[in-house]
Structure 1
Amino acid sequence: MTHMPSAADPPAPPVPHVPAQPGPPPGPGSQPSAELSSPPGPPARRSAWAETTAQLRAAATTEPGRLRIIGAVLAALVVAFGAVTAFEIADRASSADAVVNRSQPLSADAASIYRSLADADTAAASGFLAGAQEPPAVRERYHKDITSASRLLVKAAANTDGSTDSRRWIATLNEQLPRYTGLIERARANNRQGLPLGGAYLRYANQLMTTELLPAAQKLYEEETARLDDDHGDARVWPFLSLGLGVVAIGGLVWAQRRNYLRTNRVFNHGLLAATAASTVVLLWLAVGHAVARAGLDEARANGQESLKVLNDARISSLKARANENLTLVARGAVLTADGKSDKYETDYTSGMSRLTASLGRAGRLADDGAGRTPVADAVSAASEWKNRHKDAGETDRAGDYDGALAKVIGSEGSTGQCFDRVDAALEKALAHEQAEFTESAEEGLGALVGLSIGAAVLAVLGAVGAVLGIGRRLSEYR
């Protein structure tokens, strides 16, 4: 039975508070309690790449997000296409410009240096044969050749690439040319006094020309011609990277428009259509422009450069042959070949004429029109007559008639000198024609690339803007 407490019952005594006692220290293997552990640090942050990837994945799950990604990719492709096209075409145009305005002119100047030096040597020998009273025309021709060679050397030194061997050959020519002219003046001074020493000086000058000056000029010509070939090859290389990017960019734009059509039944998106049109224009311009430039450079090489090389070789051979022909009479059998059996200058004359005949035959086959074939045919005819007259002069000399042989070599009527002049004039005319053809074709090739680099960049920017606006128009439908 429960009783209600009454007022008479005393109150219960209070329970004393006993403070909690600390437990024993944790052992070495025990874990600290939750109350004693340090507060947790901030959660570990992901890298920027991981966050960006996560955001892209999240965006790709929605149509607006997918559209933004597609727009960014399309704009990047179109801009990359334009930038790479501008870069590659600028490089091709630079090489084509070098062909027209630097490499080929330097190659032609190097050939002219060789021709001037060889012609100066020929003129010096002809003047010596004329006796103490050197003809003014021969003297003027010699000075004109030396002046031309000196001027072209200065021009070549100013325009050639300092990293090539051309500098070394130019330095050799500049060093040896004053020595040569000094020897020629000594030969002339002795010849005026009737001293036999003049012939020795002339032969020494010719030896310096054939062993030092002309080989250096030949090396300079080969170096500049090799650089011309390099520039020509660089200008002809197809811009494969640009063409590939163009195809990819247009393919991406077509895919985006097809996707848009399948999802909305809208046939055209004006922005994407404009971007596709701009990219297509750039791609066609690139392909057609480079094809035209390549064709022009190939024509310049086939119809101009190859013919120029062969004609220069022919002219050099004729100059060498003429110099050796003159020296045959100057030396009068005093200089023999290495085996001691034949006259050195007569042997060199025969070799030079053989090379001349071969070069003229090849030049005739390379000539592609009447204006090119006619002077070559004239040179062939004059060279053939030159051989006959030289044979006649040699027989006269061997018969003991030195003066008669001299008249048949340097005389004003019926001499081999007249035939040489006809050959040289015909070759000069042929060279001028082929040079004009080369320049015309090469400039046409260069012209096909003008404006393409800037045009590609501008159209690419417009195409990228069109792609962004086209995708933006679709995005506005979700707002």
Structure 2
Amino acid sequence: MTHPPYERPAPPGPSVPPGTTTAPAPPAAPPVAPPAAAPAPPAGRGALASGMTRLRAAATTEPGRLRILGAVLAALVVAFGAVTAVEVAYRAAAADDVVTRSQPLSADAAHIYRSLADADTAAASGFLAGAQEPPDVRKRYEDDIATAARLLVRAAANTDGSSQSAREIATLNEQLPRYTGLVERARAANRQGLPLGGAYLRYANQRMTSYLLPAAERLYEAETARLADDDRDARAWPWLSLAAGLLVLVVLAAAQRRAYLRTNRVFNRGLLAATTAATLVLLWLAGGHALARAGLDEARAHGQDSLKVLNEARINSLKARANENLTLVARGAVLTDDGKKDKYETEYGAGMGRLASALDEAHALADDTAGRAPVSDALRWVGEWRERHTGARQTDDAGDYDGALAKVIGGKDSTGAAFDRVDAALRKALDHEQDEFTRAAERGRGALTGLPAGAGALAVLGAAGAIMGVNRRLAEYR
């Protein structure tokens, strides 16, 4: 038997009364699209514009203006302290270089020149003494060579490798062994009684005067120029710091006047503290630098200038003594370029003239009795040296070579004894002027001690005072 398929009955719906017609359902409303988002402002410009807007809004109110004023005052005071610290630190470093580097190197360069010139003088004196060279003359020569070598090592350690000084030091280190080798050959030939010894000694002197002494002179000039640069940097006025300090004081005064006009209070303690701190920094800066300049000016006028002239005087005395000895060594074999005069005798006369002129200038520069007395002694003995030299030349021209030799390298009445007195007086004058320079330069350097750190600390305190003063006014609006 077949059954019809089974169908699930529909769920019961709402009852509809009989005879009622069912209306069709209205169509569904279409979905409403959300409104389009506004385009975002470009990155950065929106933040800047927003910030400027807030800043303009803040500036229209008194609390906002006070906050801006406090930030400006604190920034100006800190900037003043920073600029002062940097400028003064640079000048303090230059002043320290004058005392500890530039001037000592300049003095070492002059000492190198003097040692080389004195070694040449001692070599000629030892040669004239004959085969048995006096031990003291030999020791003097060896000490001079050792001193020059030691000072060259120290100068090389404190000089930039690419500078002119480094090139001159290299030349000196290269030529010094060649010179000492020629001197040893001259000494060996002289001991054997060979006339070749005189030629070797003249070659040694030629190398000294053509290579070593010019290089030492250029080294001295380079180090003296560096000393002048450091001295000029240390004495330069810190104009930027001074201008910044005056600007800070003007702005702080205007801020205090503004506070007085708006509150009728005479003083704002915070702003007054900031003004005091800025004033102290400015006075310390001006006074300390003025004292530093005074000390460095004194060091230059009464020390450095005198040292330069005295070094020239001593160098000329050593050259004159070497030429005086070589006059007897060469015995007229070396003439001037025109072939009319003895070369060494002519150079001796020129050197003595330069020596006398330098001593006159040094005497004028000396500012106390301790500085003038040794220069006066040197001048007196230069005159005695000239008289004795004239007598020695007259004896040599008369054909008495041994008599002339005794008057040049003999006892207390010789030209050598007069030269020793001149050299001792110049050494004493140099020591005195060196002490004068060092004391004055150290006073100048000491005037700047502590100023960079002090300026920074006072600037921080001044900025804190300015902020506290403004905050005190802000508290009145809360």
Match in the other structure for 1:245 = 244
> Structure 2 regions of 5+ residues with no counterpart?
1-22
Q: CA deviation at 1:414?
A: 1.0
Match in the other structure for 1:159? 158
Question: Unaligned 5+ residue runs, structure 1?
Answer: 1-13, 20-34
Which residue of structure 1 aligns with residue 426 of structure 2?
Answer: 427
Partner residue in 1 for 2:10: none
Task: Look up the match of 1:71.
Answer: 70
Match of 2:310 in 1: 311
| Equivalent-residue separation in structure 1 for 2:295 and 2:388 (angstroms) | 44
TM-score by length of 2: 0.92
Matches within 5 A, 1:164-179: 164-179=163-178
* 1:161-240 map, 5 Å: 161-240=160-239
Q: Aligned-pair distance for 1:253?
A: 1.1
| Separation of aligned partners in 2, 1:297 and 1:245 | 25
Counterpart amino acid of residue 247 in structure 1: L
1:393 corresponds to: 392
Residue 444, structure 1, aligned to residue 437, structure 2 = no
User: Which of 20, 36, 55 in structure 2 is aligned with 1:39?
Assistant: 36
Equivalence map 1:72-91=2 (5 Å): 72-91=71-90
1:336 is matched with which residue? 335
Residue 463 of structure 2 is aligned to residue 464 of structure 1: yes
Deviation per CA, 1:238-267, whole angstroms, max 9, x where unpaired?
Answer: 111111111111111111111101100111
Separation in 2 of the partners of 1:161 and 1:436? 27
Please state whether the residue corresponding to 1:149 is helix, strand or coil.
helix
Separation of aligned partners in 1, 2:77 and 2:271? 11
Q: Distance in 1 between matches of 2:48 and 2:320?
A: 77
Please give the secondary structure, in 1, of the residue aligned with 2:132: coil
- CA deviation string 1:251-306 (max 9, x = no partner): 11111111101100111111111111111100000000000001100110000000
Report what 1:375 is aligned to: 374
Which residue of structure 1 aligns with residue 137 of structure 2? 138
Aligned to 1:354: 353
- 1:156 match: secondary structure: helix
Distance 1:164 1:265 in 2: 66
Q: Deviations over 1:116-161 (max 9, x none)?
A: 0000000000000000111111111101111111111111111123
Q: Distance in 2 between matches of 1:163 and 1:129?
A: 42
Partner of 1:57: 56
SS for the counterpart of 2:286 is: helix
Distance 1:204 1:18 in 2: 127
Give the match for residue 414 of structure 1: 413
- 1:106 equivalent to 2:105? Answer yes
Worse overlay, 126-135 or 54-63: 54-63
Q: Give secondary structure in 1 for the equivalent of 2:341.
A: coil
- What's the CA shift for 1:40? 5.2
Residue 124 (structure 2) pairs with residue 125 (structure 1): yes
Q: Distance in 2 between matches of 1:49 and 1:206?
A: 80
How far apart, CA to CA, are the structure 2 residues paired with 1:305 and 1:53?
Answer: 60
Distance in 2, matches of 1:218 and 1:174, equals 14
The whole-number CA distance in structure 2 between the counterparts of 1:49 and 1:166 is: 57
How big is the shift at 1:53? 2.4
CA distance in 2, matches of 1:50, 1:242: 35
Displacement, 1:43?
4.4
Q: Which amino acid aligns with 1:347?
A: T
1:18 CA displacement: 12
**Shift in alpha-carbon separation, 1:18–1:80, aligned structure 2, 3 A:** closer
2:101 counterpart letter in structure 1: R
CA RMSD across the alignment: 2.0
Q: Quick one: distance in 2 between partners of 1:212 and 1:53?
A: 73
Give 1:349 deviation, angstroms: 0.4
Shift of 1:348: 0.7
- Which residue type is aligned with residue 273 of structure 1? L
Structure 2 CA distance for aligned equivalents of residues 270 and 398 of structure 1: 93
For residue 478 of structure 1, give the secondary structure of its aligned residue in structure 2. Answer: coil
Instruction: Give the aligned residue type for 1:105.
Output: P
Give the Cα–Cα distance (whole angstroms) in 1 for the partners of residues 175 and 289 of structure 2.
45
Alignment partner, residue 453 of structure 1: 452
Q: Distance in 2 between matches of 1:342 and 1:200?
A: 19
Amino acid at match of 2:206: Q
| TM-score, with length taken from structure 1 | 0.92
Q: How far off its partner does 1:57 sit?
A: 1.4
Structure-1 residue corresponding to 2:363: 364
Q: Using the TM superposition, give the Cα deviation of residue 36 of structure 1 relative to its aligned residue in structure 2, in angstroms.
A: 11
Q: How far 1:340 moved relative to its partner?
A: 0.8
> 1:87 and 1:279 mapped to 2: Cα distance?
16
What's the % identity of the aligned pairs? 72
Distance 2:258 2:338 in 1: 87
**In the aligned structure 2, how far is the partner of 1:200 from the partner of 1:38?**
112
Q: Please say which of residues 284-293 and 245-254 is displaced more in the overlay.
A: 245-254
> Could you tell me how far apart the structure 2 residues matched to 1:279 and 1:162 are?
44
Residue 351 of structure 2 aligns to a residue whose secondary structure is: helix
Q: Which shows bigger deviation, 95-104 or 41-50?
A: 41-50
- Greater CA drift, 322-331 or 238-247: 238-247
**Mapping of residues 24-35 of structure 1, within 5 Å:** none
Structure 1 residues 47 and 123: CA distance shift in structure 2, 3 A = farther
Give the distance between the partners of 1:119 and 1:314, measured in 2 at CA: 13
Distance in 1 separating the partners of 2:443 and 2:49: 54
Write the distance in 2 (CA, Å) between the matches of 1:302 and 1:179.
40
Please give the secondary structure, in 1, of the residue aligned with 2:476.
helix
1:32 paired residue number: none
CA separation of 1:36 and 1:471: change in aligned 2, threshold 3 A: closer
